[in-house]
Amino acid sequence: MTYDVPAKLKTIFGYLAYLVKGAEKIPQLKPMHMRIEYEDGVYDGMASMFFVALTNSVGGFETIDPNIVLGDGKFTLFIVKTANIFEILQLLAQVLNGGRHLENSNVLYTHTSFVKAESKDGSRLMINLDGEYGGDAPTTFTNHQQHIKIIGNTSDYADPIEEVDEDILAGAGTGFMKEVETLHPDEVNDKRLPYDGKN
């Protein structure tokens, strides 16, 4: 989804650009049968997307995983098991509201040192690597804990890049959450995934 956001928009609007493009793409989400292997198990079922993250910030969302420990050699893995637009919007509101999405039954959430993902029904599963198209699955992510040492003199760097006004971001997030809270399931097309009895 995020590699469709033009680079200029990402630079100028950052977080807001992802929200706008994401809102445009949500109705196009289609469930597919995925097999995702990770350290503690295997998910083999229907899902609309999965996320593998190294930090608590993904696409401008600062609380995607409030429990992350940097440098522990683990990814955060989220598997979103719904393509229902109402449930996706609820998830986004929960992400914006302090990480409440971690307990949502439509999400499988874990920490793992590796992830192997593939489509099981012949659907194209495109991979997004830090906002850019990264090829199609099957794919494997391996966390090489503290594999690279970085040494630098920070005094050689220019002043920090000016950040977007926090009040603007807070206002955008609050407005989005208010709109989601007014939605009712019968107001949107129901794309609920069939329960496969496995997860």
Nearest CA among 123, 104, 118, 98 for reference residue 29:
123
Which candidate in 24, 39, 118, 132 is catalytic?
Answer: 132
Strand partners, 75: 112
**Residue 62 among the catalytic residues:** no
Distance separating alpha carbons of residues 60 and 130, to the nearest angstrom:
11
DSSP sequence for 101-162: GGG-TTEEEEEESEEEEEESSS---EEEETTEEEEESSEEEE--TT-------GGGSPPPPP
- The order of strands in the sheet holding 75-80 is 49-53, 75-80, 107-112
Amino acid letter for position 151: I
Amino acid letter for position 111: H
Two tokens, residue 185: 């399931």
Task: Give the catalytic positions in this structure.
Answer: 132
